[in-house]
Amino acid sequence: MNVTVLLFASYADALGTTELEIALPAGSTVADAVRRVATLPGADRVPPKPLVAVNERYAAPEQRLAPGDQLALIPPVAGG
């Protein structure tokens, strides 16, 4: 299944893009997706367990993904 990964701020700078598609086996979790992203060039500047949102909601590492889900890797937030 394919899922979209959104990247922001320092993580977008690290990976050199704001959005990518990754293919994962059915039944994969948020943690599986994060491990896949960690193999990409530049991912050494992203922490091993970043905050993640799935479809605009914060998600736990063990949450299962569905085809077409939109993951976002969330750098430490700094609003205000």
Map residues 25-64 to x or -, x wherever contact with another protein holds by CB under 8 A. --------------------x-x-----x--xxx------
Instruction: Supply the minimum distance, in Å, between the C-beta of residue 64 and another protein.
Output: 20
Report the side by side order of strands in the sheet with 19-23: 19-23, 2-7, 70-74, 51-54, 57-58
With CB under 8 A as the rule, give the number of residues binding another protein: 20
Look at residues 45, 44, 50, 42 and name the one whose alpha carbon lies nearest to residue 71.
50
Instruction: Kindly state whether residue 72 participates in binding another protein, applying the rule CB under 8 A.
Output: yes
Instruction: Kindly state whether residue 74 participates in binding another protein, applying the rule CB under 8 A.
Output: yes
